[in-house]
Amino acid sequence: VLFVIFLTWSWHRAGFSTAIECKHRDIDGTTADDLQKDSQISVHKKENELLILVWVWPFGETFPLNTCQSVYGISGCKLTADRSLYKMADALVIHHVDIMYNRSSLPQDPRPHHQRWVWFNLEPPLIIKNLHFLDNLFNMTMTFRQDSDVYRPYGRIEALKQPQSFTIPAKSKLVAWVVSKWYPGARRIAYYEELQKYIPIDVYGKKHMKLSWDDFYKTISQYKFYLAFENSIYKDYITEKLWSNAFDSWAVPVVLGTSRQNYERFLPGEAFIHVDDFPSAKDLADYLVQLDNDDEGYKKYFNWRSLYRVRRETGWDSSYCEACRALKQAPDYQVISSVKKWFLEGTK
């Protein structure tokens, strides 16, 4: 009993309501009538629909809240961004980047006993801060990691029902790279600086050649290869640099990121070229030049397209609807004691 009282005092001093269910909840000021009312709301919604509260718009970007059934075929889900419905909500989805510098931006009112919180994050540890103040608050994770409670990759491949033919766009240029964050000393910058000594690379971005989004795919599709260099080396962290920038442009991705073995959990081995396959940047450059003069060798990097297609979910609403689906399928109440420990275990 003393231990429970101490825990409750600690959580309230930190400004948080506990995420652990206890029989006696009147310590936080919640009455028995309130608990009964919350329970009735929870049971009612579980029988009909879950109310999911978008606690903060991700990166301030709004999105439609009525698409779960009509667009994604997920029934029994109602999304809202109305914080006045906090006590009624069955779950909150909280986008970490938007709350990570201000712990008081998390809910401060007593937490309804039935309510679950979903930690939503698509950024690597390099970007993420202040994971420590999430201890014992969240019940589910939603990230790009495959072992998340709700898996939200940047992209994936789907098997076609039958093989199909395809046409590779005409290529007149060799290697392109679009980079927005230029951190001198970062591994991808260092590798590029070495690689460009042996092979010409056209670089686009804030500090390089200008390229508008309207012209992006038309421009990059002229290149045979695209440098899909990630800014972080982290388990399952394979971003739009590959799924969109390279694949949607029909350029063969040259990847720098997590291991080849990790990439091959999600892609055929001949869908990409990995920098780790070569002893040096010069060896990679020599191989790209070789493929530039070997049409058949180059085309083998597209053979997978006869069997698979690339699928990407581009709207925020799809993630929130998938969170609702997962909540409906996993009704058991769990508590993540340390999001930080779980998330950082994938760091290399």
Q: Which residues are catalytic?
A: 123
- List of residues 6+ apart from 167 with CB closer than 8 A: none
Matching residue, tokens 């397209």: 305
Sheet holding 50-54, edge to edge: 77-80, 50-54, 91-95, 116-120, 140-143, 150-151
- Please tell me what DSSP assigns to residue 20: S
Give the integer Cα–Cα distance in Å for 147 and 129: 21
What is the identity of the amino acid at 303? N
- Please tell me what DSSP assigns to residue 204: E
Let me know the angle formed at the C-alpha of 272 by 176 and 195, rounded to the nearest 5 degrees.
Answer: 45
323 close to 148: Cβ distance less than 8 angstroms: no
55 close to 82: Cβ distance less than 8 angstroms: no
Full DSSP string of 2-58: HHHHHHHHHHHHTT----S--S--GGGT--HHHHHHHHHHHHHHHHS-EEEEE-S-G
Name the nearest CA neighbour of 149 among 205, 188, 196, 93: 93
CA dihedral for 9, 11, 15, 21, sign (positive or negative): negative
